[in-house]
A and B are shown apart, each in its own frame.
Chain A
Amino acid sequence: MLKTVLAPRFAVPLVLAVLVVGLSFALPSNFYLRVAALVWISALAVIGLNLLMGYAGQVSLGHAGFFGIGAYAVAVLPAQFSLHPLLAALAGALAAGLLAYVVGRPILRLKGHYLAVATLGFGMLIAMTISNEAWLTGGPDGMPVERLTLLGWRVRGADTWYWITGGLLVIGAWIAGNLVASPTGRALRALHDSEVAARVAGIDVARAKLTVFVISAVYAAVAGAALALVNGFVTPDKANFMHSIELVTMVVLGGMGSILGSVAGAAILVVLPQVLTSFHDYEHMVLGLIMMVIMIVLRSGIVPGLASLLTGRRK
């Protein structure tokens, strides 16, 4: 019994749930709750991307594109077709998944740098579409997002969104943990290590890659939709190249192939810029320095790095 509870796929969502509940008492003001909600949202997208990068070993430099699709779905669909925001979010997630399925087939045949450039181009295409179709999306200025109402209750306030996004994160981590522990998860780690061996073990490598690409796109779209609803406003910069890079950085910084690492990576890159504002002009320099030091000291990322340091000492 205790052993099943301690298995990573149960332990990780449990740890996160405790973290979400615990922080709600510790955080002193709405400002902190809001920053925490932003961390949970980024972490959700990063968990999805980590399934693709850390487990299956495939890179995507265009994930902000899927994030943008989710965000703009909850902005555009209610405004144009007066769709309920929740249905719009669902439609955004479906659209991102479908698009990932269609572009993933040709793109995922590529490897390494070629895959990186292809996904980069794909992400830019989405960002440009969002920026250029001003009649629909408001163009570079962005557009407002209709407030979410559930059964007549207007969802508002930093604390409410803290709980909703925290809940989404725990659910996302739980699903990801189950996926990783399933035969599909084993197949992903296998093809990461050796595609030839995975093939002769009977794994349909192309299909396994496509599956995880679609799943990671849906994670990004759900996170994008959540961010749009929390902010009440969307801008194209959440779909652009810099945001894709930010997501990839969060994966690597937190730890490839670690779900808790995804949360740690997101937390660092969302919280640190807020903390470092006291350095004024030197803010970005200090942030860059901290990131470099983390990668040099903890080469495999924050969570796996710390874990191996701790177990290493015990031995």
Chain B
Amino acid sequence: MRSTDPLLEVSGLRSAYGRIEALHGVSLQVDAGEIVALVGGNGAGKTTLLRTISGVQPMSGGGLSFAGRDISRASPHARVAAGIAQVPEGRQIFAPLAIEDNLRLGAYLRKDAEIAADLARVYDLFPVLKERRKNPAGGLSGGQQQMLAIGRALMSRPKLLLLDEPSMGLAPVLVDQVFEIITRLNREDGVTVFLVEQNAFAALSIATRGYVIETGEIAMEGKGSDLLADDRVREAYLGV
């Protein structure tokens, strides 16, 4: 089923905060067109892994390649240019800046003529952002900020979208909305998605494949639906 050349290949990745190692050799891969979910509890290393992939957290060992190229030494902005966009944990929108300025910053590295078209596409996905595009982003609600953060990441025209806990702090109805948007992006715009979630049920429901991470190591992997049905996953992360 899988093509032989993955879009993102993580092999034996290690990363440490000072002397404390948070990732003890993580290997996984994401193929073009997939939605891959990484689920796990607090402190399992989910966010660290995502930050290491985007380059804002240094890696101490292992390999990282994207679209067939070794990116383990590339700077974060070079990785954005290569096609990786991260929606960071806690959204990290630029609160004092106007919503549209936030979105334009997502296209910071682009010089092409299609930025306006992509801006229109983001407004089409998130109409509420268009209504308030001149207002400071800090005035948005939590769910709207999450949409803005996703929109900002999309403005770089990523091949791979990294999402860190998109459901964090959102009401259940908004969680459904956000996950529906992620599915749409994958289906309609062909964006490959790698998302990290504590909300294992929501994440695995939309995922093609999933990984379970425990204390800095991959504990299980499989199809999203298989993991959802797995007794160990159900007990540990779904509370049933």
Contacts and interface: CB of A to CB of B under 8 A. Distances in A.
A197 B92 contact: yes
Nearest to B55: A199
Contact of B77 (A189, A194, A197, A199): A199
B41 to A, nearest CB: 23
Contact of A202 (B80, B88, B92, B96): B80
Interface in A194-237: 194, 196-204
Contacts of A198: 105
Interface residues of A, number: 16
Contact of B85 (A186, A187, A194, A200): A200
Given A186-B104, A190-B105, A203 B77 contact: yes
Interface residues of B, number: 26
Given A183-B108, A199-B76, A202-B80, A193 B94 contact: yes
Main secondary structure of the interface of A (DSSP, over half): helix
Nearest to A199: B76
Nearest to B102: A190
B75 A190 contact: no
Given A183-B104, A186-B104, A186-B105, A202 B95 contact: no
B54 A193 contact: no
A203 B108 contact: yes
B54 A186 contact: no
Given A201-B80, A202-B108, A203-B108, A189 B94 contact: yes
Interface of A: 183, 186-187, 189-190, 193-194, 196-204
- Report, nearest first, the 4 A-B pairs whose CB atoms are least far apart: A202-B80, A197-B92, A202-B109, A200-B86
21 contacts: A186-B97, A186-B101, A186-B108, A187-B105, A189-B97, A189-B101, A190-B97, A193-B95, A193-B97, A194-B92, A196-B88, A197-B88, A197-B92, A199-B55, A199-B76, A200-B54, A200-B85, A200-B86, A201-B105, A203-B105, A204-B75
Given A186-B97, A202-B109, 10 more contacts: A183-B104, A189-B97, A190-B105, A193-B97, A197-B88, A197-B92, A197-B94, A202-B77, A203-B105, A203-B108
